[in-house]
Structure 1
Amino acid sequence: MSAGASYPSLAGKRVLITGGATGIGAGLVEAFAAQGSHVAFVDVAEEAGRALAEKLGEQTHFRRCDLTDVAALPDTIGALVEKLGGLDVLVNNAANDDRHTIAEVTPAYWDDRMAVNLRHLFFAAQAAVPHLKAAGGGAIVNFGSISWHLGLPELVLYQTAKAAIEGMTRSMARDLGRDNIRVTTIVPGNVQTPRQEKWYTPEGEAEIVAAQCLDGRIQPADVAALALFLASDDARMCTGHEYFVDAGWR
């Protein structure tokens, strides 16, 4: 893979990433740090989060956070923004795609899955908006999923939440645009992470590649490359839409 693009506008930007300790999230943290951004990230995986922050150095800050506790989000985000000295970019990445059947879903499980995969994106954005306005504008990058576009099995609640994120993105883009805040959604395909590998056999992975237009497996760095563009000033007229990085999976 090439070294990738460099975005001068991201140097010195204050970036907050949710779910940044492992997988795609860790790829995002590393990519923004490599651009010279000041990065804060949250995750429930404390050991992995602290190890990543230590690896990347003093420009990166980690804080353990349970995003389902939305009442605590303003204080958590406020504390990290204070460390960063302001906020220019929020990346709403955190999610969990545990499998489930329709018959297994209870009201409590419904509420839990919406809390894990949808609710915190709104409240993180709500808490971030005053800081973005204070900075003169910025970008919110939400994470959707290819899964609901394909109608994959045993993911009905995850796919419901991810579909809602695209609607939320369009609404927020309209409401926040005059404040120079852009809101977009990244729709990843099947990204090769340790978590995803637990769901797929080698034969299953081969089926995914066969359904793609391109050979090869999508890596966290491929997704991060799109996030960097959407957060940068080069994307100053991109808002209210979803952008796919799925190798043409159909």
Structure 2
Amino acid sequence: MMSRSGKNVLVVGGARGIGRITVDLLLAQSEHVLIADRDERELGKCRTEWGEKGLTFRMDLTDKGEVSRTLDWVKEQVGALDVVVVTAAVHNTYPAEYLPDEIIDRVLDVNLISHIRFVRDVIPLIRKGGRIITVSSVSAGVGIPMESIYSVSKAGLELFYECMSIELSYKDIRCVIIQPGNVNTGFNETGNDYRPKGNPFIDDLYSKIVERTNSRYGIPPEQVARAIVNAINSKNPGLCVLVGGNAIKAHWAKRLLGRDLALKILKKMMCR
């Protein structure tokens, strides 16, 4: 697919994982890429690798003041954006009945609340005909046990993008949800903070879920990054792009079999 060359693209979470690979692909097709991330160490590596090809800067989505200053700076630097890609997120697995308040607050803040605030504030910078793209998860469409708060954050985000897709149609701004299954980035090995509490069913199921969702079983992150770039280059991208066999199977199982039967199958798979 040919690129409409020279677009201004902001990638939030662009110093690591899927975001970083997306930046590589965008730079290769001569886009003007701005890379935001809260990890200064990884940003330093990016500066060394990309040099002046990409414009890197620190931004923590949860810091309202930093986000505001950053968007003012972006406006001064480039004037307007053609595409905004948000890959920044945190992962968590934890049994619902034992969820600590700090985990609930952190996951919802990073993955949902601060993401929504950022998108709201960046919309005025996006040109007519632009794109807002986020990376969601199969967990948004299927309730993976032990991932309740993560699933809630991603499901809420998908509905936010769905609402925006109609609201922003007067500007011809397309909202795109990239929904992959398991991805081999090491992301699923973060946020696994639960420790056994003497509940045999929960402790055993937690161990099974952590193992079965291990990143080593996932698709290559390049596959997700290519889906993002295709959504940028496409004249008519869909609202939700499923990436990988697990995401596709989960999507159609729920729609063809119904919610109850799909859940029974999931329970059988996860609890065996």
The answer (yes or no) to whether the contact 2:174–2:237 under 8 Å persists in 1 is yes
The answer (yes or no) to whether the contact 1:101–1:155 under 8 Å persists in 2 is yes
Counterpart among 236, 244, 247 of residue 246 in structure 1:
244
Query: 2 CA distance for matches of 1:207 and 1:42?
Result: 24
Q: Find the residue that maps to 2:72 and give its secondary structure.
A: helix
Query: 2 CA distance for matches of 1:147 and 1:33?
Result: 30
Aligned to 2:224: 223
Measured against aligned partners, the alpha-carbon deviations of 1:3-58 in whole angstroms (never above 9, x if no partner) come to: xx5x321x211011111111111111111111111111211211111211331231
Kindly state the Cα deviation for residue 86 of structure 1 after the two structures are TM-superposed: 2.4
Tell me which amino acid in the other structure corresponds to 1:219: P
Q: Find the residue that maps to 2:166 and give its secondary structure.
A: helix
Aligned to 2:82: 88
The count of aligned residue pairs is 232
Aligned to 1:8: 3
The answer (yes or no) to whether the contact 2:189–2:214 under 8 Å persists in 1 is no
Measured against aligned partners, the alpha-carbon deviations of 1:61-88 in whole angstroms (never above 9, x if no partner) come to: 1111221113432321231343334211
Kindly state the Cα deviation for residue 90 of structure 1 after the two structures are TM-superposed: 0.5
User: Which structure: greater helix fraction?
Assistant: 2
Q: Find the residue that maps to 1:83 and give its secondary structure.
A: helix
The answer (yes or no) to whether the contact 1:16–1:91 under 8 Å persists in 2 is yes
Query: 1 CA distance for matches of 2:100 and 2:215?
Result: 32
Aligned to 1:214: none
The answer (yes or no) to whether the contact 1:40–1:61 under 8 Å persists in 2 is yes
Kindly state the Cα deviation for residue 141 of structure 1 after the two structures are TM-superposed: 0.4
The answer (yes or no) to whether the contact 1:138–1:181 under 8 Å persists in 2 is yes
Identity %: 29
Q: Find the residue that maps to 1:183 and give its secondary structure.
A: strand
Question: Unaligned stretches of 5+ in structure 2?
Answer: 193-206, 250-272
Aligned to 1:160: 152
Q: Find the residue that maps to 1:66 and give its secondary structure.
A: coil
